[in-house]
Amino acid sequence: MLASKRILLIIGAGIAAYKSLDLIRRLKERGASVTPVLTGAAEEFVTPLSVSALAGEKVYRDLFDLTDEAEMGHIQLSRSADLIVVAPATADMMGKMAAGLANDLASTLLMATDTPVLCAPAMNVRMWDHPSTQRNLKQLQADGIRFVGPNEGDMACGEYGPGRMSEPLEIVAAVEAQLGNGPLKGKRILVTSGPTHEPIDPVRYIANRSSGAQGTAVARALSALGADVVFVTGPADVSPPEGVQVIRVETAQQMSDAVDAALPIDAGVFAAAVADWRMATASDKKLKKSRDGLPLLEFAENPDILKRVSRLDAGRPTLVVGFAAETDNVLEHATAKRARKGCDWIVANDVSPATGIMGGSENAVTLISDEGAEEWPRMDKDAVAQRLAQKIADALTS
Ligand code: CTP
């Protein structure tokens, strides 16, 4: 709930601005007050009248409106909020923010504030992937700006990929996580999840049975405790949680790169079932049956993401948590794995088919740490996630 929270909503000039109207309603339903600011070009997408009618407040539109300055100067406007939400945050807006430009009301408010800022980016997929946007994203994250989305999907411009603004309820979840007083507020935590797919040729790949359910539940539980979660997921069966930054990957190498790009973090939870091997060279054409016999697949080793992060010299996260999916001698293998990888905790589970854990809704884990092995009763994956998130909160805040 957002009772008596004050949100300053900056609406950028993108087609996704229409979703901001619904966002205003959703925030107000939860008890927040919303002061809207429209950039000049945003008025091409939504009208000041509809924005102000939904917000029940005056819309701020122009830096040099002398009446506004007399009533509430832009400095005051930017500081009287509990949170500034930029939705949609266009490529142009992110560029200005990263560069420290202040040549209109929205960018001036963002420069003049010491209030936390949450951005919901929305732009064409090529613009999102462009090195300058990615550079700006990195810079803004380093400056402490929070992000929700963008999502992947069909875009208004007819292309497909990451760049769609998060849905209003996803943004609301991120606002709640940001404004709540959970014990993990201000902590940046990375979670890897799901399987990886390693291509053999354009139509075949090597995969595993991970559904991504446990990693998703962990990300959701951490976010509910107020963490700023970066969720790096392989092609999972379950949808990512709302209100976290989602980075979708396919291969182990892409997952490894995404993790590197997300550093520094306070903690990392590595729940992904990463393929240990990939094809030494994936064929760019479909392999055909031949009279010469069966094809020979040559493997190469994938980067061990957990091990690398655990052994970082500079910038090692305060807490690194790995998972150990075993089918036999679970405790023994998991204890050895913890030492080999150098992580702080290992969440060990038995994934032999009889347990029904892989792909199922329940899990039975043993948490292995410096303090020994703690066996948890079999429970719902959400319950495992909540217990783990609480333990992480205790460890990071003690
Ligand atoms: N992991 C990783 N990168 C890899 C392989 C595994 O980050 N290339 C992480 C997993 O996310 C998990 C932990 O390491 O947290 C253990 O994964 P698991 O597959 O059980 O271990 P392996 O390293 O594959 O060891 P083994 O093959 O001996 O079981």
- CA 269 – ligand 1 centroid, Å: 12
For residue 67, the model assigns a pLDDT of 66
Q: Catalytic: which of 157, 300, 312, 336?
A: 157
* pTM of the complete model: 0.71
Q: Is 322 in the pocket of ligand 1 (CB under 6 A)?
A: yes
Q: Give pLDDT tens digits for 345-382.
A: 999 998 888 888 877 788 899 999 999 999 999 999 99
User: Which residues face 272 on adjacent strands?
Assistant: none
Which residue range forms the structural domain that includes residue 11?
A: 1-180
Average pLDDT over the chain reads 92
Domain boundary among 123, 151, 180: 180
- Say whether both 220 and 274 belong to one domain: yes
- Say whether both 168 and 247 belong to one domain: no
In whole angstroms, give the CA distance from residue 367 to residue 37: 48
Q: What is the CATH number of the domain that holds 270?
A: 3.40.50.10300
The total number of structural domains that make up the chain = 2
Q: Give pLDDT tens digits for 258-313.
A: 999 999 999 999 999 999 999 999 999 999 888 888 888 999 999 999 999 999 99
- Say whether both 41 and 125 belong to one domain: yes
- CA 64 – ligand 1 centroid, Å: 57
- Say whether both 13 and 111 belong to one domain: yes
SS3 per residue for 272-305:
CECCCEEECCCCCCCCCCECCECCCCCEEECCCH
In whole angstroms, give the CA distance from residue 302 to residue 351: 22
3-class state of residue 1 by DSSP: coil
- Say whether both 147 and 191 belong to one domain: no
Helix (H) or strand (E) holding 380: strand 379-380
Q: Is 305 in the pocket of ligand 1 (CB under 6 A)?
A: yes
- Say whether both 195 and 316 belong to one domain: yes
State yes or no: is 343 an active-site residue. no
- Where does the pLDDT of residue 180 fall: very low under 50, low under 70, confident under 90, or very high at 90 and above? confident
- Say whether both 55 and 154 belong to one domain: yes
- CA 337 – ligand 1 centroid, Å: 8
Q: Is 218 in the pocket of ligand 1 (CB under 6 A)?
A: no
